Amino acid sequence: MSERLQIALLRGLFRMLAWLPPRLTGAVGAGLGRAAFYLHGRRRAIAVRNVTRIYPERNRRWRQRVARESFAELGRVIMELPHVFLRPKAWLQARVTVENEACLREALAENQGVIVTACHHGNWELGALMFSLLGFEADMLYRPLRHAGADALLKEWRERFSARLHARRESLKWLPRARRRNAVVALMVDQHIGDGEPVPFLGHLANTLMLPAVTALKHDMPVLSVALMREGRDFRFRLRFWRVDAPSPVGHRALDAFRLMQAINDSFDAVIRQRPELWMWSHQRWKLLEEQPDIAEAVHGTP
């Protein structure tokens, strides 16, 4: 099957699914996610291990439930993509309640651009669209798909409300331009980065993208975090912004960046712990500690 035909079929499938009620597609996705939890042994083991690392005090049944429901949430998010990428702007806006938007507007009033950090929590694809849905210029870093045609299609959908996406392999020349345009620079901070720096996430060292902290300190840009919280299990959400204050500088560039990055990571603790099943536990966030148990034991007293 040619790549062109594959993309045409994918477009057609998304158009068809976008006509279905979002509650139905979400429920189907949740069911598929729960099935994947039982069928995909490796990812299930990763999710349960991660939940156990962060919640050692909870019993096995609770940890299994959180891990399973995080698979359900991932399935729900995937099946909601046709609605996110094809429904009209007004339809999407009507399903999101925005809290503390003034925080973002005040930061942009400083005219230095704004770093906004986020996590894979709830429907993060809708969260990424929200900046342009609210009328803000936005530049985002993303990881391209291996399939070139699918990646081009996904980029087209993600940019449909005027956001600009930049692949990780690109140079960072776009960053100063985004700052000069006083744009939102949106960055995900909850994935393992092979060449990242060890910074605590949910209290445990994890290789972390340092770009938000380094860029903010270099260009004196304000830093915000954002979370899109699902309300119940429906396609209804609450978007909340909050400011991340940089710790007082100590005059050491690397240490200042580490302390700011830790403050950014720490700002998501309460959000994830409020509804842990909404976060993507199946990702190897603490791969550093799994590959180097001596570090885990030295820092955390456990492998």
The contacts of residue 102 (CB under 8 Å, 6+ apart) are: none
- Give the DSSP H/E element, type plus range, for residue 184: strand 184-188
pLDDT tens string 87-96: 999 999 999 9
- Tell me what percent of the residues of the chain surpass a pLDDT of 90: 86
Of all residues in the chain, the percent with pLDDT exceeding 70 is: 99
Residue 1 has pLDDT above 80, yes or no: no
Reply yes or no on whether the pLDDT at 145 is more than 80: yes
The predicted structure's pLDDT at residue 170: 84
What pLDDT, on the 0 to 100 scale, is given for residue 258?
Answer: 97
**Is the model's pLDDT at 284 over the cut of 80?**
yes
**247 inside domain:** yes
Look at residue 190 and tell me whether its pLDDT is greater than 80: yes
Domain count, the chain: 1
Mean pLDDT value of segment 144-158: 91
Global pTM? 0.94
Confidence of residue 177 (pLDDT cuts 50, 70, 90): very high
**Mutual orientation of helices 148-158 and 3-18 as an angle, nearest 10°?**
40
User: How many helices (H) does the chain have, and how many strands (E)?
Assistant: 14, 9
Virtual CA dihedral for 53, 55, 59, 64, nearest 10 degrees? -70
Closest CA to 192 of 90, 280, 255: 280
Asked if the structure places residue 45 within a domain, the reply is yes
Q: What DSSP character marks residue 277?
A: G
Residue 124 has a pLDDT of 95
User: Which of 51-55, 249-253, 283-287, 296-300 comes out lowest in average pLDDT?
Assistant: 296-300
pLDDT at 301: 74
Of the two residues 292 and 189, the one the predictor is more confident about is 189
Return the pLDDT at 169: 84
pLDDT (mean) for 45-66: 97
Does the residue 303 lie in any domain? no
The predicted model gives 38-51 an average pLDDT of 97
> Which amino acid would we find at residue 42?
R
In a domain, 226, yes or no: yes
- Residue 188: what pLDDT? 96
Range of the domain at 58: 3-298
pLDDT of residue 147: 85
Structure confidence at residue 2 as a pLDDT band (50, 70, 90): confident
